[in-house]
Amino acid sequence: MTVCHHLKYFSLQRSIALISISINNHGSKVNYHTVTMKITVEFIGIARIITREPKISLEVKEGTSFEKIVQKIGELFPDLIGEIIQPDKKNLYDSNMFSLNGEHMVLHEEMGHSSPSDGDRLILMSILSGG
């Protein structure tokens, strides 16, 4: 006979996890289901030239920092590393920034501890231009 306990929620770093615990004669099993969010990353200028993509859609865990998103972008587009993304693979060079929904520039100081929300649009852009 199996005893099931479902739908226990807890919050951890702005993430909500659903725990499903099934206990039977053979022991226990724990399944974690993490809530994800979908964001769009748009590439402008040199970032678009390097990626050859106008935009991508990413699905990440809720609460994922901008720094972790930079890491994910670097994994998908390794040619950005050294040009847009610093060699540490988690920070943008100072001449590049994210614009959040075209309304707010994400400061470099915010990258490690701030995160976008589900449905947000990040625009990766250079803040310097030549002439």
High-pLDDT (> 70) share of the chain, %:
73
Q: Determine the average pLDDT of the residues in 22-44.
A: 72
Mark whether 88 and 122 lie in a shared domain.
Answer: yes
- Looking at the structure, tell me whether residues 65 and 13 fall in a common domain: no
Q: Is residue 131 part of a domain?
A: no
Predicted confidence band of residue 4 (pLDDT cuts 50, 70, 90): very low
Asked if 116 and 54 sit in the same domain, the reply is yes
Supply the range of the domain harboring residue 26. Answer: 3-34
Do 81 and 59 share a structural domain? yes
Same domain, 59 and 28: no
- HEC string of 57-122 equals EEEEECCCCHHHHHHHHHHHCHHHECCCECCCCCCECCCEEEEECCCEEECHHHCCCCCCCCCCEE
Question: pTM of whole model > 0.85?
Answer: no
